[in-house]
Structure 1
């Protein structure tokens, strides 16, 4: 789960991280009123969307008067920002952060993430603050410094000290930087984050450090421990299909392609996405229907995959363990009844591969009740190759 920058800063502030004073605004009038409350000669008008690269897309403006605040707020509110993280469709700006300006001497990058290889939290920092960290990692990886944290003892003072000196901070800023690192780590652990990022962390003119921007991502599996975080959720920033799928107890992630896939089990689902790519297709989604795939649930999955016309073909790849292949087949029939008037067709080609529990019964159901556009595949490889070919032929 993601939240907005101003919400992240409120959380970090409660953990002792120094952040600029700022207030959220949902209208131009509120933006101007907030600027008056801050009473600073310089204000920053910042678009609040769940994506990076807002500044390059025109979503961050420095205002030196109330008139400029009004002008920039009018320009940004309601605008669709297209950044490297939003995709070509962009995201509409529904809220702003009006923030006091800062005396910036130098910008740095700081974050805490989970390293899956070591199964430990890692503190990462760089002198290249304000830039996309992926670009820094690709072009100048030597400028990224790391400290691996032992979960038994947590972040230790010598690690924060060593990181501060690696960043080349002036002597007067070392202690404030150490404090900020410790507070950010406490927030990361205390709120079950999957990412806690400050980009940029800035050195101010008086050799203090603060979080000029902030991003917190949370482990969805731990949200039951944090009802206060759940309340911050902005569903307008999330994919409608993903929300609909979650309500139906389906694990769905939109991947933007045109070859949809419905699979049981996360491992097989990822392998299916990979094999679609291998045969030259673009996966539309990751969809794990889980282990209790009753016909109604399968029909719901079909509805979600077909919504909006994104999917030009569907690959059903089921290896029945707890799942029963006959129920999956029955679900495909139910989907046809819901989607088409005659109940005997589907709007896009569907390739079905069934193996495991009641696989033969599932194949017989689909064979005895033929549905237009449904093709049986004997193997996973053959099924993936077939659906990619059909989708490409339909678009030729």
Structure 2
């Protein structure tokens, strides 16, 4: 689950990670009031969306007076902000973060993330932080320092020394940098994060280390342990179909293709997307209804997929283990009648009572095409969209 920068900084404050003074605003007047209470100008007005690259898109502005603070707030709030991470469609800005300006001497980059290949928490840092960190990674990857931490062992002193000496930090900031990294690592583990990123992490003119930016992603599978973080969820930043699917416990991700698919099992869903592409079509979504899928879940999934105007056909790929194929087929027929099916649907089933399930589909009188195997399903779905 992604959260906003101002929310990430609330977490940082809980773990004694230093951040600038600031508050979130949802109106222009509120932004101006916050700016006036920060003890002087300049202040920074920042768009709050779930995407990076806001500065390049015009979503981060420095205000040197109350008039400029109002001007920037009016320009950013309500704008459709396009960044490299939003795609050309952009994202509507509905919140702002107004912060005190800082005396920046140097900008660093710092992040913690899960490396699944090594089963380690990797700490990455670089002396060249800021908006162009992606270019640094591509142009000069040797400048990026990586330290892998065994989660069972935890963060040790030698990890911190490797980071400090790799960055060649001046002595006056080494202690505060080490403390910041320790606190970030604790936050990362205790809050079940998949990513914590600060870009830039600044060294001020007064030799302070400060998180000028903050990005935190939480592992959604661990949210049952963090009821407090659930309140951070901003459904306005999510795809409406994905939000609806989550209400029915469906694992759904909207994509750009024209073939909707419903599958029980994440691995089978990935394989199904592969065969759709191999057949010359494009998947319109990832949908895993789970190993214990019910007819009701299939109906909800089908209804959500059919609301996507890009979808020209649907492939349902089910292995009937916990859910018998005949029961599943009855659910598909019921769902098709309920949602008012008007596009081709290809159904591939294997498992318990599969022949009975195919008979139910064949005798339904609906536009349901039965496939005998994956190859047959791919050929029929490709022909349907063409």
- After TM superposition, the score normalised by the length of structure 2 is 0.95
Alignment of 1:170-249 (within 5 A): 170-249=170-249
Alignment of 1:286-297 (within 5 A): 286-297=286-297
* Contact map agreement 2:316 2:345 (CA 8 A) in 1: yes
| Residue aligning to 2:359 | 364
- 2:232 equivalent to 1:265: no
| Residue aligning to 2:58 | 58
* Contact map agreement 1:199 1:213 (CA 8 A) in 2: yes
| Residue aligning to 1:117 | 117
* Contact map agreement 2:55 2:131 (CA 8 A) in 1: no
**Following the alignment from structure 1 to structure 2, what is the Cα–Cα distance between the partners of residues 148 and 108?**
19
**Following the alignment from structure 1 to structure 2, what is the Cα–Cα distance between the partners of residues 46 and 99?**
8
In structure 2, the residue corresponding to 1:11 is in which secondary structure? Answer: helix
* Contact map agreement 1:82 1:89 (CA 8 A) in 2: yes
- 2:102 equivalent to 1:108: no
**Following the alignment from structure 1 to structure 2, what is the Cα–Cα distance between the partners of residues 187 and 255?**
32
| Residue aligning to 1:377 | 371
More divergent stretch after superposition (47-56 vs 247-256): 247-256
| Residue aligning to 1:343 | none
More divergent stretch after superposition (216-225 vs 288-297): 288-297
Give the superposition deviation at 1:287.
0.6
1:349-369 CA-to-partner distances (Å, cap 9, x unmatched) read 222111112211111111111
Give the superposition deviation at 1:18.
0.9
Alignment of 1:153-164 (within 5 A): 153-164=153-164
Give the superposition deviation at 1:303.
0.4
1:54-104 CA-to-partner distances (Å, cap 9, x unmatched) read 111111111111111101111111111122222333221111000111112
| Residue aligning to 1:21 | 21
1:208-240 CA-to-partner distances (Å, cap 9, x unmatched) read 211111011111222122121111211111222
4+ residue stretches of structure 1 with deviation over 4 A?
132-136
* Contact map agreement 1:45 1:72 (CA 8 A) in 2: yes
In structure 1, the residue corresponding to 2:232 is in which secondary structure? Answer: coil
* Contact map agreement 1:170 1:207 (CA 8 A) in 2: no
Give the superposition deviation at 1:325.
1.9
**Following the alignment from structure 2 to structure 1, what is the Cα–Cα distance between the partners of residues 345 and 330?**
14
**Following the alignment from structure 2 to structure 1, what is the Cα–Cα distance between the partners of residues 74 and 80?**
13
1:138-194 CA-to-partner distances (Å, cap 9, x unmatched) read 443222211111223311122112112212322222222111111111111121111
| Residue aligning to 1:390 | 384
Give the superposition deviation at 1:134.
5.2
**Following the alignment from structure 1 to structure 2, what is the Cα–Cα distance between the partners of residues 26 and 199?**
24
**Following the alignment from structure 2 to structure 1, what is the Cα–Cα distance between the partners of residues 331 and 303?**
11
More divergent stretch after superposition (380-389 vs 221-230): 380-389
In structure 1, the residue corresponding to 2:19 is in which secondary structure? Answer: coil
| Residue aligning to 1:334 | 334
In structure 1, the residue corresponding to 2:328 is in which secondary structure? Answer: helix
* Contact map agreement 1:293 1:327 (CA 8 A) in 2: no
Cα RMSD for the two superposed structures: 1.7
| Residue aligning to 2:8 | 8
The number of equivalent residue pairs is 386
Alignment of 1:21-100 (within 5 A): 21-100=21-100
**Following the alignment from structure 1 to structure 2, what is the Cα–Cα distance between the partners of residues 272 and 385?**
12
Inter-CA distance 89–159: structure 2 relative to 1 (3 Å threshold)? same
**Following the alignment from structure 2 to structure 1, what is the Cα–Cα distance between the partners of residues 50 and 15?**
22
**Following the alignment from structure 1 to structure 2, what is the Cα–Cα distance between the partners of residues 225 and 98?**
31
Inter-CA distance 311–146: structure 2 relative to 1 (3 Å threshold)? same
- Structure 1, gaps ≥5 residues long: 341-345
In structure 1, the residue corresponding to 2:57 is in which secondary structure? Answer: coil
- Structure 2, gaps ≥5 residues long: none
| Residue aligning to 2:343 | 348
**Following the alignment from structure 1 to structure 2, what is the Cα–Cα distance between the partners of residues 306 and 136?**
43
In structure 1, the residue corresponding to 2:37 is in which secondary structure? Answer: helix
* Contact map agreement 1:161 1:174 (CA 8 A) in 2: no
